[in-house]
Structure 1
Amino acid sequence: MTPAIVQDWRDLAPALRGATVALGNFDGVHLGHAAVLRAAHAARPDLTLAALTFEPHPREHFRPEDPPFRLTLLPAKAAALGALNVAVVYAIPFDAALAAMPAETFVEEVLHRGIGARHLACGADFAFGHRRGGDVPFLTREAEARGIGLTIVPPVVDEEGPISSTSIRRVLQDGYPGRAAAKLGRDWDLHGEVFHGDRLGRELGWPTANILLGRQLEPARGVYAVTVRLADGSVVPGVANVGRRPTLGGDPVTRLEVHLFDWSGDLYGQQIAVRLHAFLRPDARFDGLDALKAAIAADAAEARRALAGMPPRP
């Protein structure tokens, strides 16, 4: 399902109002988020299922100097929500005005009068409004006063504790994409537009498609076994490096370089999604281009073995 993305709560068409609405930032759309969505639907299966989130993430508004941390930017987030049967994504712009909005005003103007929510679902730690002045007890009172149903969903836990976007960021930064996938319910991917590099990979016999991470989280630097979803929807296996190319003197920003196995064509300017399946080794500096070329060949062989031995995942 491809959900409608709504970026204003005012003057909505009737078809975009009156849903059962899951509330949260939904960064990553992990198993905990899926539980909130299921609860919203189970409470009112007769209604359209919607998710209300904020763009940009509030942390990006309050702490713009922080390194990029997003697991899913809006297009990827909406796609993941759509895969969980969400029909409408309310991507409410988070700006200074929204940050200053009192919690009661948010309930009245956004949830009640704006989107006309008929049922809400959220996690037990959900908070909103100016200085996070609205918590679950507050929302319970305010929703009841307006005749809006509310379901509070306990956290989903695994052997490491409650599943959260923070915990997923941590394991990705530590080089464990498989553990992240277990918490997400799918393998994590990075999205970006292929740009023109220096064509060194082609000269070495290993042409690569290069993307920048932008506002997306930087996972552990190093080599990964990956699959790549191209703009036409096809999926191609490959090997990728996340890093700053220390052998070549170092880049100012991290890039993702991916070599697609048994594929040729022009990807420049296209949007691709690189799904990380296994971390093979940390980024390293090699003594010259011959050593780098040999390392790439070994990485490619290891990536093929890793992908061949993996069970299929969503």
Structure 2
Amino acid sequence: MTKIADIQNTPASASPSAPNIIRSSVRQHSIKVELCTPAIGAELSNVSLVDAAQDPELIAQIRALWLKHKVLFFRDQNITPLEQQHFAARFSELEAHPLAPSHPEADKLLMLYRNLDPSKPKSYVEKASRENLWHADVTYKKAPPRGAVLRCELGPETGGDTLFSNMVMAYDNLPDAIKQRIEGLYAKHGAEQTFGAQLPRDERHAMALKTPGAEHPVVLVHPETGEKVLFVNSAFTTHFSNFFNFEDVRYGQDFMPEAHHLMSYLISQAAIPEYQVRLKWRTNTVAMWDNLQVQHYAVADYGNAPRKMLRATLAGTPLT
């Protein structure tokens, strides 16, 4: 463990442009920081999220660490849903999930509850919102979430880990030829093929009208750090919207395979282990990640064991 004052020159990832933004005026706080991997993630201890919510300097310190390490972990946070919501609200306005229910005591917390009664058939939400694929949350909106604060209320004795992948590093390590090819490209993101796939046709079409999708740059410039991020994911990104290659196309059939192969290659980058950190949850563990810089994967290896998670979603702004 190291105090924050000891990590000013410690790189959080292989990204050369990661900002060094810890202000000297807040170094007197006693947060302890332990790096999880060379690529991504830090565990913060000696801090209460309830206390932090009342301390602007402490919030600024946590925000700086969040931007630098991309995902933060806090253990032993025995807090109420409303206290979790208050902490998360210090970083951004919060938003409810557009397609799933909120907690009755905290209207901006999404309930990710699994297997609470294994004897009963799973609900639509349980069947249709599995998180065991690499994704960033709700990228089908024009303004995808800025981040998330997720707390484990109850976890299985073993299994149910979550992996996080650094998409700044994923972009940095692309071959130069690929970087040149994707510069200026945009991609479509939608929810119909994910959340609507199991719905009857009429309901799926109605959902598509309600959530029509969005177009985002394939290479996103992060609004706070200025870093370049590979911004496509397997859950919601469907296709490029301005891909063309007239020089190499002999026949019309040559056009789409190149686009499909390139998209599949880009989406696969999140699965590279060297870009990742894996969190083993315990009750009252909290993870806070940057939804623009990070993709995540919730491992569904815990059978019928119950798993209760609460997520606060930090509202974002439209991407250009």
Instruction: Name the larger-Rg structure.
Output: 1
TM range (shorter): under 0.3
More helix by share: 1
| TM-score w.r.t. length of structure 1 | 0.24
